[in-house]
Chain A
Amino acid sequence: MCLAIPGKIVEISPDNRDSALVEVVGVRRKIDLGLLQDDKPVPGDWVLVHVGFAMSKISEQDAADQMNTLRMLGEIEGAMQEVQGYGLEEVN
């Protein structure tokens, strides 16, 4: 829950501008962009994701640094589990 997971925006949903496909280390899931209304990301941008919502735009370098921090903290597995769980993929 407290993990900030870096993801790359792959695609904005054509029918819902607040929904985007992000990629986190090869895993693609939908996340919510509604909390970045003032500074909407576009495909190719990097964002920090908390509980399925993009919370801030970051640079590619910062995304790599954050991934490295998660690795050093032993939290990569937890982060991947969280991302894979978005959209209830593991619930139902």
Chain B
Amino acid sequence: MRFVDEFREPELISKTAEEIRRLAGTDRHYRLMEVCGGHTHAIYRFGLKDILPENIELIHGPGCPVCVLPMGRIDDGLAIAQHPDVIFAAFGDMMRVPGTQGSPLKHKARGMDIRIVYSPSDALKLARLNPEKHVMFFAIGFETTAPSTALTMMRAKAEGICNFSVFCNHVTIIPAIRAILDSPDMRLDAFIGPGHVSTVIGCRPYEWIAHNERKPIVVSGFEPLDMLQSIVMILHQLRKGEARVENQYKRVVPWEGNRAALRAMAEVFELRPYFEWRGLGFISQSALGVNDKYAGWDAEQRFEVPGVRVTDPKAAQCGEVLKGVLKPHQCKLFGRECTPEHPIGALMVSSEGSCAAYHNYEHRKAAMVSLSSVA
């Protein structure tokens, strides 16, 4: 329990860990999926696996937007950015994600006009500042960032700013969970539900998971104690044979979500019939496209998009890792060809990707253990 001393309320954490041990018993194995990449990062950073009993296995879910974006979409976005008048604006997280011809950062080094923005409204500001150019915002993220993109497009339309468009890669979490539950090689007992996505969508959209699939789901905060308490709540349900949606993160997540944010999304976006997810393949109605009212601000309608499809390198097993069938270190490329410094798969790029998280914390720990055993 290496990090426990750093935590607030270490006694409460030890008590909760003890409660988990008691509830988990030894008679069965539990497979719990944390859907959100932020939780994956926290689990590794806090060393929660060292606190949990061995029969509780945490499977890392698809909730890292950078990780699930297919390489072809990056190539498509960069193809639009080839136009001499286009400024390509994206969050910093996107800059190191490899496309076929290199990352956006590499394209910037080759002279392309690529800018980091920290907010979609700053991409719109770039358009105001550069009226002779066209600013294309490469939008990415789940429901935590999609409403901000939507509101920015509403502002662009209201102000009549026409040299601005969005290359929309926003995805929605519910269809991804459904795809995972439908996958034949996936056996899960329960879900730790995403925290910040739920501030927008609320808890109601998860009810089918409990009612139809008979799996508990507990929306959780990000502190170590939050996640341990969520696991206690899940185990209580499983021991009693119940399946309900519960909200451990009530202090931030309202049951009904954020209606103003949902209205903004409904104003601008429509569900795409299908969208490709890296590692999971095509999932129907799983992503947001721009509706006809906002066609003038949709980069895919304003520019020719090559529609590139790139298969992941054969040796890379991102798909299996993303579905939780393989652990990160079981991939043939892990830590050798594919490292956070030179990522091949997207799971290695973002600190919320399970491979990068595993590499940064577990791998290093294992290396230290083997060194100390030599000494």
Contacts and interface: CB of A to CB of B under 8 A. Distances in A.
Interface in B141-181: 141, 144-145, 147-148, 151, 155
Interface string A1-34: 1101000000000000000000000000000101
Interface in B23-56: 37-38, 41-42, 45-46
B1 to A, nearest CB: 14
14 contacts: A50-B144, A51-B118, A52-B122, A53-B147, A55-B147, A58-B251, A62-B251, A69-B222, A69-B223, A85-B119, A86-B122, A87-B122, A92-B126, A92-B129
Given A35-B151, A36-B260, A72-B46, A2 B199 contact: no
Sorting the interface of chain A by its residue count into under 10, 10 to 19, 20 to 34 or 35 or more gives 35 or more
Nearest to B140: A1
Interface of B: 6-8, 37-38, 41-42, 45-46, 64-65, 91-93, 115-122, 125-126, 129, 140-141, 144-145, 147-148, 151, 155, 196, 199-200, 221-224, 251-252, 254, 258-261, 264, 352
B222 A91 contact: no
Given A2-B352, A91-B126, A68 B8 contact: yes
Contact of B199 (A38, A48, A74, A82): A48
Contacts, number: 126
Contacts of B199: 48, 55-56
Most B Cβ at <10 Å: residue of A2, A37, A62:
A2
Given A2-B144, A90-B116, 13 more contacts: A1-B93, A2-B141, A35-B151, A35-B261, A36-B260, A51-B145, A52-B118, A53-B148, A68-B8, A69-B221, A69-B222, A82-B118, A85-B118
A35 B126 contact: no
- For the complex of A and B, list the 9 residue pairs with the smallest distance between their C-beta atoms, beginning with the closest: A52-B119, A85-B118, A37-B260, A53-B148, A1-B91, A35-B261, A82-B118, A1-B93, A51-B119
Contact of A2 (B147, B196, B254): B196
Contacts of A53: 119, 121, 147-148, 151
A53 B140 CA distance: 15
A51 B145 CA distance: 7
B201 to A, nearest CB: 12
Contacts of A92: 126, 129
Contacts of B117: 85, 88, 91
Contact of B65 (A2, A36, A68): A2
A50 to B, nearest CB: 5
B252 A2 contact: no
Contacts of A88: 117, 122, 125-126, 129
Nearest to A85: B118
B223 A35 contact: no
Residue among B151, B199, B260 with the highest chain A CB neighbour number at 10 A? B260
A48 B145 CA distance: 13
Given A55-B261, A72-B46, A32 B141 contact: no
B259 A38 contact: yes
A83 B140 CA distance: 19
User: Which of A35, A65, A90: most chain B Cβ within 10 A?
Assistant: A35
